[in-house]
Structure 1
Amino acid sequence: MEIDFDPPDASANFPGTPLQQSGTYAAVLRSFGCHSAVADIRSDGARLARARILVRGIGPLRLAWVPRGPVWAHGVARADQSRALAALPRAAPWCALWAMGGDAGGARRGLPVARGGNVAELDLTQGEQLRRSAQHGKWRNRLKRAETAGLSITAAPLELPRDAVLLARERAQRRARGYAALPHAFLERWQNIAPQDTLLLTAKDGGAPVAFMLFLLHTPTATYHLGWSGERGRATGAHGLLLWRASQELAARGYHRLDLGHADPQRTPGITRFKLGAGAAPRALGATTLCL
């Protein structure tokens, strides 16, 4: 097994790459001063996996974090995954305490420091009729009502400062509801680094915004990032319509998967019902493990 820490196509995303293993995500964190590295894991010349590693100093320690990685090629055996995970720290050009993320796969020794969970994912490779039929009945009925509510939908890349007023509404919503999300400074850096790799869908009623959803694009996957809905948006079911239109747009562009984020029926039952009702399937993530 060979591990290359200097692959020639270091900016490319491996198929199935989640947001946290994308090249743009690493570039954004580098802009905040975090060091990153890329490692390709090969066997007999065939690439088994790609890992993006974020390296930070914590006092006298160096932490190498592989968030939601490595990303494996299709069909890699669990035994090969375990061998690769054991070999990765030994092959690194620096010594560190390693934190392997929830998508690492394979059996690995270490101390679990964060529990696993589930993410909700929409399969965009299916045709429109199949994707619509995968929606739960009540969710699909609400979508039908939203489609006849007279809302207009626009889709475009995020543009700042033009769209700052929408982000301000989401920020106020976040404070009022007390949920956590990446700071808007992350989004501003993303937009500066990859201005075309965002998709902003806005629902308007009479020309006034009533809801929006923003997605980050990392081909061939897209990830829901944040959204906002006002009173009129909630009354018309605008978010369901926005998500449906986003899935249509992304599928037409050739994206394979839409990651809707965590699905936790205990902590966020309403949001989880919304995601799964849209036809998303839950996928289990393993625990994050510390190892040397």
Structure 2
Amino acid sequence: MAQLPLTLRRVAPDDWPELCRGFEDLTYEQTLTYAKAAAERIGSNAEFVSLHNALGAPVAAACLRVKRAPLLNRGIAWIAAGPLTRLENDDMLDADTLCGVLRDLRQYAHFSGHTLRLRFPASVSVPDEVIARAGFVPTARAPVYRTVLIDPKQNDEKLLAALHGKWRNPLRNALKAELDLETGPIRFLSQRFQILYEQVQAAKGFRPDIPPEFYYSLSGEDFDHTVLVARKDGEDIGAMTLGIAGSNATYLFGATSPTGRRLNAGHYLMWRAVLHCRELGLKCLDLGGIDPDVNPDVTRFKLRTGGRDSTAAGPYEAWPKGPVAGLIGLAESLHRKYKT
């Protein structure tokens, strides 16, 4: 039986938050608030599209951040943590429909001469054969995203039982230390978080690609940036931030003082973050990525929470036909060379 064609529609930015609200796999990377700021940061443009079935009902949606090469007016269209394909209280799209979604997105990008590159949400499983049928191939030009996903809907007993013993014991010690917790939006707590973060940064010498300061001014109906602060005797000893969109939260940044590390404030904050997500009725907490080669200690810490080790499908890419593809590739390679 032939697959019925889908209809692709451009979506006005103001209409994007309402449309996305119906997808269970929405994360902060596909929100209007984050996407516009992320696009402006690198000099690209954010475009929003939806795909609809024969009855006019939406079946998928995607925000594309389009970065054009100088003079070419063509470049890379990047879909981070998308397309969105899991409708609220619904299963994944069948293989044929998903293939149709990917083909239509590829054609949309190629019509303007752009290469399309994408990475699915970590919570979504995509068969390799669907990717190949839709005209995409794996690529090393964008990073792989491996992370740990926790289901916060579980009760305390199940959550505790899932913890590794070497994670559970520090948590118990932290709970016995009777730490205090303060929770609030980033706009009120950014200065206190920044003080802790700069202390850790100075001690360890790391520098993230996107620093916490980028997020401090983000504000919108579709993106909440929440801070959890651990305190002891009136002193901030640790903090972590969560990016919340739809029914999902993502760990973004964390920092603990020397006192906080001694009192296992990191374990305490992660545990309280899970409980906070449950209180909000969220369905998934993404622990923000792991890389055993670059940071084995953080990887071990997150894996021992008992969450699901998950690698997002992708990244994949599809190049337009003709000589323009080679020019786009050359422009991207030169940009990376001189950027570093």
With the length of structure 1 as denominator, give the TM-score of the two structures: 0.88
Alpha-carbon spacing, 1:242–1:185, altered in 2? closer, same or farther (3 Å): closer
How many equivalent residue pairs? 290
Residue 39 of structure 1: aligned partner: 49
Distance 1:79 1:271 in 2: 39
Q: Which runs of 5+ in 2 are unaligned?
A: 1-5, 321-340
Alignment counterpart, residue 158 of structure 2, candidates 121, 130, 133: 130
Alignment counterpart, residue 107 of structure 1, candidates 128, 131, 150: 131
Residue 71 of structure 1: aligned partner: 84
Alignment counterpart, residue 171 of structure 2, candidates 132, 143, 152: 143
How large is the RMSD of aligned CA atoms in angstroms? Answer: 2.5
Distance 1:214 1:249 in 2: 12
Shift of 1:260: 0.8
Q: Which runs of 5+ in 1 are unaligned?
A: none
- Which residues in structure 2 correspond to 1:1-292 (within 5 Å)? 1-6=6-11, 9-12=15-18, 13=20, 14-29=23-38, 32=41, 34-45=44-55, 46-59=57-70, 60=72, 61-73=74-86, 74-91=91-108, 94-103=112-121, 105=126, 106-108=130-132, 109-110=136-137, 112=139, 113-114=141-142, 116-160=144-188, 163-177=190-204, 178-190=206-218, 192-193=219-220, 197-291=224-318, 292=320
Higher mean displacement: 99-108 or 62-71: 99-108
Instruction: State the SS of the aligned residue for 1:186.
Output: helix
Q: Which has the higher helix share?
A: 2
Q: Radius of gyration: which is bigger? A: 2
Shift of 1:20: 1.5
Alpha-carbon spacing, 1:158–1:23, altered in 2? closer, same or farther (3 Å): same
Moved over 3 A (4+): 30-34, 91-95, 102-106, 192-196
Instruction: State the SS of the aligned residue for 1:201.
Output: strand
Shift of 1:211: 0.8
Alpha-carbon spacing, 1:44–1:127, altered in 2? closer, same or farther (3 Å): farther
Alpha-carbon spacing, 1:26–1:200, altered in 2? closer, same or farther (3 Å): same
Instruction: State the SS of the aligned residue for 1:164.
Output: helix
Shift of 1:155: 1.3
Q: Which has the higher strand share?
A: 1
For the 8 Å contact 1:215–1:226, the answer to whether it is kept is yes
Read off the aligned partner of 1:11 and give its amino acid letter.
Answer: P
Identity in percent: 23
